[in-house]
Amino acid sequence: MGTEAVSARVTERLMAGPEKTRRDLLLGRSADPQGQPEAGATLRLSIHAMACDFGAAVNPDQTDQLLSCGDALEVVPQIEAWLSVYQRNSELSRLNMSAGISAVQVSEDLFELLKQAAELYHTTDGTFDMASGAQIQLWRLCRAEQRIPSDDEVDKALGISGMQQVNLSAENRQVGFRTRGLSLDPGAIGKGYALDHACRRVRQKDNGSCDFLMHGGRSSVLARGEHNGLAGWPVGIGDPLLTKRRLGTVLLRNQAMSTSGSNTQFFRCQGHRFGHILDPRSGWPVQRMMSATVLADSAAIADALSTAFFVLGVEKAVECCDNLPEIGAILVPFPEKGARVTPRVMGIPAEQLYWDKDMVALT
């Protein structure tokens, strides 16, 4: 990106109009804060990668640190170049084309990501599955053709899905598929993985002492240090029903946060509404709750677990989260009546959460 390009994209205040609304929601800013922590002035920059905007914000007196964030965000398109399934010559695309024929040696970065994905697959009972690319491709095709897939199509996709069909050999970093047609898709972990690497670069350059917030598409957020006199960064918790409103604010303290839901990405066909998040165990879209938000040390883990928790549904997600002591979660079930919701919160200290009482029914 370079210093001149970064400097040209810096702003001290939030922009006006719709972009201002989206940024206010991200940083927990509201006209009626009801005692909630508010974001102050920031310096910002952004780049476009992975089909979304990746951005960074720092405190208004930290121009040098913003330049460090700009340099660090350059890692995102670099990761996209080898991780994207939309680029035919990416390392992951080449692996998908070849690993069903014979084992393929891969880079250290890709191998480590696949190891993490395999561990998360087992931790979540298969509800996070990076090897569900065939299912994703099927539903993407059906959405374009405005039709629902047949049971036979879904069964065929299921037969060539599942991390249990991926062999990982640590000795020589080789990856092989047990069946042809299996496809790895990083959609539920890629943005978080890129944020983790960008954060690592900033901390290495600034010797670990830094205050910043980074996001990937605003659904994946990572914060370090302090902001506006607070012991962290206030981040808005979006309302799954009214997307321009928020349910409250979480004070993110040296953590990552990811939210999964299907309130904005869906399609309607034959009188049915289908969200974009699939249950990789059945091959069908799932809508067992309104949204799932996860707080974790790693943005990649937060990404993966928010997807898994959304697939599991509230009660099963609570059980899974209980077995993960370093994970926090906010699960938003469908409201029984009215517009107010009753979130289920696990593993997040009360002093980090500030609810909008007009939007949330607290128990």
Average pLDDT value for residue range 277-290: 93
Given this model, what pLDDT does residue 9 score?
42
> 137 lies in a domain?
yes
> 110 lies in a domain?
yes
307 or 32, which is more confident:
307
> 13 lies in a domain?
no
Q: What angle do CA 273, 248, 22 make, to 5 degrees?
A: 65
How far apart are alpha carbons 29 and 188 in whole angstroms?
27
CB 257 within 8 A of CB 301: no
Average pLDDT value for residue range 7-26: 45
> Lowest-pLDDT range, 16-25, 93-102, 201-210?
16-25
When pLDDT is cut at 50, 70 and 90, the band that residue 7 belongs to is very low
Q: Does 15 score more than 60 pLDDT?
A: no
How far apart are alpha carbons 309 and 329 in whole angstroms?
9
Question: pLDDT tens digits for 138-179?
Answer: 999 998 998 999 999 999 999 999 999 999 999 999 999 999
When pLDDT is cut at 50, 70 and 90, the band that residue 336 belongs to is confident
Q: Which residues contact 214 (CB under 8 A, 6 or more apart)?
A: 54, 55, 56, 57, 69, 73, 195, 198, 199, 221, 222, 223
> 91 lies in a domain?
yes
Question: pLDDT tens digits for 30-80?
Answer: 544 457 888 999 999 999 999 999 999 999 999 999 999 999 999 999 999
Given this model, what pLDDT does residue 23 score?
58
Domains in the chain: how many in total?
1
Q: Does 10 score more than 60 pLDDT?
A: no
Q: 201 vs 70, 189, 254, 279, CA distance in Å?
A: 10, 19, 15, 34
Domain span at residue 155 reads 87-177
Q: Does 130 score more than 60 pLDDT?
A: yes
> 279 lies in a domain?
no
* String of DSSP letters for 316-348: HHHHHHHT-TT-EEEEEPPPSSSS-B--EEES-
CB 83 within 8 A of CB 49: no
> 149 lies in a domain?
yes
Average pLDDT of the residues of the chain: 88
Q: Does 16 score more than 50 pLDDT?
A: no
> 282 lies in a domain?
no
Query: What CATH number did the domain enclosing 95 receive?
Result: 1.10.3980.10
When pLDDT is cut at 50, 70 and 90, the band that residue 242 belongs to is confident
How far apart are alpha carbons 360 and 355 in whole angstroms?
7
227 or 13, which is more confident:
227
Average pLDDT value for residue range 249-269: 84
When pLDDT is cut at 50, 70 and 90, the band that residue 276 belongs to is confident
Given this model, what pLDDT does residue 14 score?
34
> 118 lies in a domain?
yes
* DSSP conformation class of 273: E
* String of DSSP letters for 100-168: TTS-EE--HHHHHHHHHHHHHHHHTTTSS-TT-HHHHHHHHHHHHHT-PPPHHHHHHHHHT--GGGEEE
Q: What angle do CA 25, 30, 35 make, to 5 degrees?
A: 120
